[in-house]
Amino acid sequence: MIRRREVITLLGGAAAAWPLAARAQQPAVPAIGFLNNTFAERMPHILSGFRRGLQEAGYVEQQNVAVEYRWARGQYDRLPALAADLAARSVSVIVAGGELPTRAAMTATATTPIVFSVPGDPVKLGLVASLNRPGGKLTGVVTFTSVVEVKKLGLLLEMLPRAAVIAMLINPHNPPAELDAKEVEAAANHRGRRLQVLHASDDQAIEAAFSVLAGQRPDALLVAGDPFFNSNREKLVALAARISLPAIYEFREFVSAGGLMSYGASLPDIYRQMGMYAGQILKGTKPAELPVVQPTKFELVVNLATAKALGLEVPPVVLAIADEVIE
């Protein structure tokens, strides 16, 4: 016969086990790997766009999807290990921002779908068979950073028609950077201008590059599109302001931080598309069925307050074609 105390003990133990059993019966949520070579605290706008895209696909982080974030913080040699860690955790899809994170993810896993953003043609880069029919485990968004560099030079010369020497800041660790610089140099020579190329891939190199710029005094600066530069936008803008150097950047966030002008696609919208594609893959769509997305609009943004601080009169033609003017 079981005594009353024993019955109470058994019931108490069973009651304590009920929540554990209930939790065990809850289905595990899928996990997305997020691989980026920049800094989480400096890129809230891309995370906002990414999460908005997930929501459009029916997923809310910490509710019905988990996200494993891996940030290289500008240390490119960490990318292979970070990608391998995501692969070992058996995430359902990897969202890779940039060519180097994309290639690191490709090396780490042969089976996990990858949603990328890359600056150049992903067909020429060997990532997909074609834009409309990627044909493998990869798809994503083309930012066309490489394509717009020459356009950025033209817009800078519209703002500063008398500029004779243009400096260009590139990140040598970014695969297309050197080729982009050669194309911009050819365009500058065709217009009778001289291009001065400087390299920076870490904080110290950025400081060194601006020391050179302060000494040589070019007429203007073109900051090449690069994730590392994007994550250091406030520093770049402040250094340019310190030596009164007019500059053009890639994304509007530079202009919001006080930069003179920018030309490029919307970075939050790029990550919104990546988040939406990641969600569609979680629902069962194969990457091969999702065409690579190309931006349909590039924004020219001008900061009138910065122009005034630099003693510049913004030409009417620039104001006429600007998509946004910050006063």
- HEC string of 293-314 equals ECCCCCEEEEEHHHHHHCCCCC
Closest Cα partner for 283 from 27, 77, 85, 65? 65
Q: Are residues 254 and 281 in the same domain?
A: no
Q: What is the pLDDT of residue 9?
A: 45
Q: Are residues 179 and 157 in the same domain?
A: yes
> What spatial distance separates the first Cα and last Cα of the chain, rounded to whole Å?
86
Q: Are residues 126 and 255 in the same domain?
A: no
Residue 198: inside a domain, yes or no?
Answer: yes
Asked if 45 and 267 touch (Cβ cutoff 8 Å), the reply is yes
Q: Are residues 125 and 177 in the same domain?
A: no
Residue 2: inside a domain, yes or no?
Answer: no
Q: Are residues 84 and 223 in the same domain?
A: no
CA distance 281 to 291: 13
Q: Would you call 64 helix, strand, or coil by DSSP? A: coil
Q: Would you call 99 helix, strand, or coil by DSSP? A: helix
How many Å is the maximal CA-CA distance in the chain? 103
Q: What is the pLDDT of residue 27?
A: 58
Q: What is the pLDDT of residue 297?
A: 83
| Number of domains comprising the chain | 2
Q: What is the pLDDT of residue 112?
A: 97
Q: Are residues 136 and 247 in the same domain?
A: no
Q: Would you call 60 helix, strand, or coil by DSSP? A: coil
Enumerate the β-bridge partners of residue 118: 142
The packing angle between helices 145-159 and 177-190, to 10°, is 30
Q: Are residues 218 and 307 in the same domain?
A: yes
Q: What is the residue range of 162's domain?
A: 145-264+299-326
Residue 96: inside a domain, yes or no?
Answer: yes
Q: What is the pLDDT of residue 199?
A: 98
Enumerate the β-bridge partners of residue 116: 96, 140
CA distance 187 to 146: 14
Residue 14: inside a domain, yes or no?
Answer: no
Q: pTM of this prediction?
A: 0.84
Residue 10: inside a domain, yes or no?
Answer: no
Q: What is the pLDDT of residue 147?
A: 76
Residue 48: inside a domain, yes or no?
Answer: yes
Q: What is the pLDDT of residue 177?
A: 92
Q: Are residues 94 and 163 in the same domain?
A: no
Q: Are residues 171 and 100 in the same domain?
A: no
Task: Show pLDDT as tens, one digit a residue, over the chain (327 residues).
Answer: 444 444 444 444 444 444 444 444 455 899 999 999 999 999 999 999 999 999 999 999 999 999 999 999 989 999 999 999 999 999 999 999 999 999 999 999 999 999 999 988 999 999 999 999 999 999 999 988 777 999 999 999 999 999 999 999 999 998 889 999 999 999 999 999 999 999 999 999 999 999 999 999 999 999 999 999 999 999 999 999 999 999 999 999 999 999 999 999 999 999 999 999 999 999 999 999 999 999 888 999 999 999 999 999 999 999 999 999 998
CA distance 77 to 158: 39
Q: What is the pLDDT of residue 14?
A: 45
Residue 97: inside a domain, yes or no?
Answer: yes
Q: Residue 127, by phi and psi: left (phi above 0), alpha (psi -120 to 50) or beta?
A: alpha
Contacts of 247 (CB under 8 A, 6+ apart): 220, 221, 222, 223, 236, 237, 240, 259, 260, 261
The CA distances from residue 294 to 122, 145, 231, 269, 270, in Å, are 11, 11, 23, 11, 9
Contacts of 188 (CB under 8 A, 6+ apart): 153, 166, 194, 195
The packing angle between helices 79-88 and 99-108, to 10°, is 50
Q: Are residues 118 and 99 in the same domain?
A: yes
CATH number at residue 117: 3.40.50.2300
Q: Are residues 281 and 196 in the same domain?
A: no
Asked if 136 and 289 touch (Cβ cutoff 8 Å), the reply is no
Q: Are residues 88 and 173 in the same domain?
A: no
